[in-house]
Chains A and B, each alone.
Chain A
Amino acid sequence: DTGVSQNPRHKITKRGQNVTFRCDPISEHNRLYWYRQTLGQGPEFLTYFQNEAQLEKSRLLSDRFSAERPKGSFSTLEIQRTEQGDSAMYLCASSFPGELYEQYFGPGTRLTVT
Chain B
Amino acid sequence: QKEVEQDPGPLSVPEGAIVSLNCTYSNSAFQYFMWYRQYSRKGPELLMYTYSSGNKEDGRFTAQVDKSSKYISLFIRDSQPSDSATYLCATLNRDDKIIFGKGTRLHILP
**In the complex, B32 has a CB within 8 A of chain A:** yes
Interface of chain A, main secondary structure: loop
A101 B32 Cβ-Cβ under 8 A? yes
Interface of chain B, main secondary structure: strand
B45 A103 Cβ-Cβ under 8 A? no
Knowing A43-B100, A45-B98 touch, does A105 contact B41 (C-beta < 8 A)? no
C-alpha gap A40/B103 in the complex (Å): 7
Interface string of A100-114 (1 = CB under 8 A from B): 111111111010000
Q: How far is the CB of A29 from chain B (nearest CB, A)?
A: 13
Chain A count of residues within 8 A CB distance of the other chain = 20
Give the interface of B toward A (CB within 8 A).
4, 6, 8, 32, 34, 36, 41-46, 49, 88, 90, 92, 96-103
A-B residue pairs, 5 tightest by C-beta: A42-B100, A105-B43, A101-B32, A107-B43, A105-B44
